[in-house]
Amino acid sequence: MTDRRSFALVLSLAALARPITAAADATIVDVEIKGNLFVPETVTVRAGTTVRWTNKERRTTHSVLFPAERLESERMLPDEQWSRRFDAPGRHPYTCGPHPEMKGLVVVTA
C-alpha cells in the first residue's frame, strides 16, 4: 500500500469513528407525544442531556414551546422529532403551541 493510500484509509476510518464517539458521549432522553399528551409529562435529566420529542400521533401536529424562554420548535408532523440539549440545572415548563392545554416539564439537575 502506498503512503497516499494508507493516509486516505486513515482519514476514512477517522470519519467513521467520529459519529460513534459522539453517540457514546451523548445522553438522549425520549418524550413521546400521543393522545395530545407529553409522555412522560415530567422528565428529570442531568445537565448536558438532550431531550428528544417524537410526535407519535397519526394525524395531529404539535410543537414544543417554552414560553418563559420564548423558544418553540418547528411544528412536528407525525413521526417527526425535535431535540433540545439542556446544559444548566433548572426547571423548564413547556407546552404545545397549538394546544396550550398540553403540559410538560423538564427538570435539569447538576
Q: Which positions touch Cu ion (CB under 5 A)?
A: 62, 96, 99
Query: Of the two residues 43 and 64, which places its CB atom closer to Cu ion in the complex?
Result: 64
Q: How far is the CB of 26 from Cu ion (least distance, A)?
A: 26
How many Å is the Cα radius of gyration of the chain? 19
Which of 26/39 has CB closer to Cu ion? 39
> Is 38 or 90 the residue whose CB approaches Cu ion more closely?
38
The residue assigned the cell 404545545 is 96
- Number of helices (H), then strands (E), belonging to the chain: the values are 1, 9
CB of 103 to Cu ion, least distance (A): 11
Question: Shortest gap between Cβ of 67 and Cu ion (angstroms)?
Answer: 14
Angle at 109 between CA 21 and CA 26, to 5 degrees: 10
Residue 5 vs 70, nearer CB to Cu ion? 70
Query: Which residue is listed with cell 420548535?
Result: 73
Beta carbon of residue 109, minimum distance to Cu ion (angstroms, whole number): 27
The phi-psi region of residue 54 (left if phi > 0; otherwise alpha if psi is between -120 and 50; otherwise beta) is: beta
How does DSSP classify residue 74? P
DSSP, res 60: -
